[in-house]
Amino acid sequence: MKIIFVTGGIISGLWKWVTASSIGRLFKSSGYTVNMMKIDPYLQVDAGTMSPYEHGEVFVTEDGGETDLDLGNYERFVDIALDRWANPTTGKIYLTVIEKERRGDYLGKTVQVIPHITDEIKSRILTQAAKADICIVEVGGLVGDAESPVFIEAIRQLRRDIGPDNVCYVHVVPLLYVEVSGEYKTKAIQLSTRQLREAGIQPDFLVARCPRPIPQELKPKISMFTDVYEENIIEATDARTIYEVPLLFEKQGLKDKIETVLHLDHKPIDLSDWSAFVDNVVAPTREVNIAIVGKYAELEDAYMSVREALVHAGAKYATKVRRHWINAEEIEKNPNLLTELQTSGKMDGMIVPGGFGSRGIEGKISAIRYAREHDIPFLGICLGLQLSVIEFARNVCGVTDATSTEFEKPGTAFIDYLPDQNEKIDKGGTLRLGTQEATVLEGSLIHKLYGSTTISDRHRHRYEVCPDKHEILRSHGLVLSGTSHEGRLVEYIENPACTYFVATQAHPEFKSRPGKPHPLFDGLVKACL
Ligand code: GLN
């Protein structure tokens, strides 16, 4: 068992996740199996209840875990599928220990932070570490945060428990640069490393986040204060894309150096595919413009996986995909907005992504109508499928009051909560979560895109297209091209009257990878080109 811990100091937003993910990529490209984990210090039991405004997208694992968006980054960098166990939070860990205590598992012993909470943390890490050659564990938050000490204590103990040759500590710190005097300041690195050492952890590596390369003469000084070997001080300079960071780390020999610390043989590494992908991201030869009509338009992190899926699809065609985030409520206020977007070249294609609640709904429906009537390549995701159905029902089938019961407005429900169906699927949960399989209509566009009649994507939704409305939609020309549960649930639709008009009840963005764009995004970018 080999575990690499990644901690961070001083300030957040220092690319702790980029560091963890990039190390994962290096080991994966050397033929190791890799597992990744993020320990989140917040008190929520999972990320499901956190507002995308506060915390960005809720990422969904294949087995239906609702997790921190960093897991999406790990999956994309390392090309793995993580499980719900990859994202323990303080809330989850305490809940488990308290439930055990209520069940009497501790036989009347005093239940304490050490050893009971730390044991629970360690056992979760060891379970994940046993699943691969290398397990990389990012410790959320910063060393010194109020919630951190118990996690830092647990990862300190693990070195003792499984042996120093099997554990490596990487600490990500800022190398500050004072613009006015043109000087680098190492104090933040010194203080943060001291804080970690006070907790009993001597880092093996420092990853210094800095805009420019570290001047050579600084390394002996940093090394002297921190006891980290000079050659193990790695720089994380600004990159042209985050996907370039594994290449920057490899140039500094990081993978070999970690192998040395972990007493592993040095395996050759092949990053040629990864480099080819990065080249296409940083030097595109063409461009397409996609309007993304959503509720959280001001915060791109709320749709992080959608953004990255577009990067992956664009790279396949050496194409820069420019994203234009449109707040659906703006469309409600200004009906000319869509025409303006199209004539100004900002809308070669359109995405209506997932969402909850009724804000901006009418704006999104107007956008979908515009896409359908003007043959703008369109991809509807989850709520985007539901609204595509409503738009079609209203403007093609003539059911002018078509709606979803989620919006709590009177009308004819085309989208509804199917409690019996969901109960069967979810074992009592209210959201339909995780990977679901669908059967695809032979010869449909979806069939062509996926190249298969049995496909699956990850879900996170509550509502469904009403089974008693399938017929009217079909008879007016909407193709229900992917269904599940004996045709009862609609998973994929397409409109053959348009060049590219597809929507899915799932979240295809979660499965997109560098070098392996998701078929629905691939198809969208291709149609735009
Ligand atoms: N609000 C819709 C539902 O619950 C769609 C959810 C989503 O887009 N993820 O079914």
Report pLDDT digits (tens) over 73-125. 999 999 999 999 999 999 999 999 999 999 999 988 999 999 999 999 999 99
The catalytic site residues sit at 382, 507, 509
* CATH classification of the domain holding 463: 3.40.50.880
**Cα 383 to averaged position of ligand 1 atoms, centre (Å):** 5
Last residue of a domain, one of 226, 247, 275: 275
Residue ranges, the chain, pLDDT below 50: 424-428
**pLDDT at position 295, please?**
78
**Cα 384 to averaged position of ligand 1 atoms, centre (Å):** 9
Asked if residue 364 and residue 427 are part of one domain, the reply reads yes
Q: How far apart are CA 360 and CA 177, in angstroms?
A: 43
Nearest Cα to 430, choosing from 412, 415, 444, 418? 418
Q: How far apart are CA 217 and CA 238, in angstroms?
A: 20
**pTM of the shown model:** 0.93
Quick one: CA torsion of 473, 475, 481, 486, rounded to 10 degrees? 80
Instruction: Show the domain range for 398.
Output: 284-528
Asked if residue 253 and residue 216 are part of one domain, the reply reads yes
Q: What one-letter code names the amino acid at 366?
A: S
Asked if residue 333 and residue 265 are part of one domain, the reply reads no
Asked if residue 201 and residue 294 are part of one domain, the reply reads no
**Cα 358 to averaged position of ligand 1 atoms, centre (Å):** 11
Buried b (16+ CB within 10 A) or exposed e, 392-412: bbbbbbebeebbbebbeeebe
User: How crowded is the C-beta side of 375, counted as CA atoms within 13 Å?
Assistant: 5
Asked if residue 294 and residue 252 are part of one domain, the reply reads no
Atom number in ligand 1 closest to CA 353: 8
Residue nearest (by alpha carbon) to ligand 1 atom 1: 356
**pLDDT at position 445, please?**
98
Q: How far apart are CA 154 and CA 150, in angstroms?
A: 6
Q: How many domains does the chain have?
A: 2
Last residue of a domain, one of 250, 275, 300: 275
Last residue of a domain, one of 245, 275, 305: 275
Sign of the alpha-carbon dihedral angle for 309, 315, 316, 322: positive
The tens digit of pLDDT for each residue in 227-283 reads 999 999 999 999 999 999 999 999 999 999 999 999 999 999 999 999 999 999 999
Which residues line ligand 1 at a C-beta cut-off of 6 Å?
A: 354-356, 382-383, 406, 460-463
**pLDDT at position 182, please?**
84
User: How crowded is the C-beta side of 472, counted as CA atoms within 13 Å?
Assistant: 19
**In testing the pocket of ligand 1, which one of 66, 382, 408, 415 has its CB within 8 Å of the most ligand atoms?**
382
Q: How far apart are CA 131 and CA 123, in angstroms?
A: 13
Q: How far apart are CA 502 and CA 384, in angstroms?
A: 10
**In testing the pocket of ligand 1, which one of 459, 463, 504 has its CB within 8 Å of the most ligand atoms?**
463
In a domain, residue 198? The reply is yes
**Cα 356 to averaged position of ligand 1 atoms, centre (Å):** 5
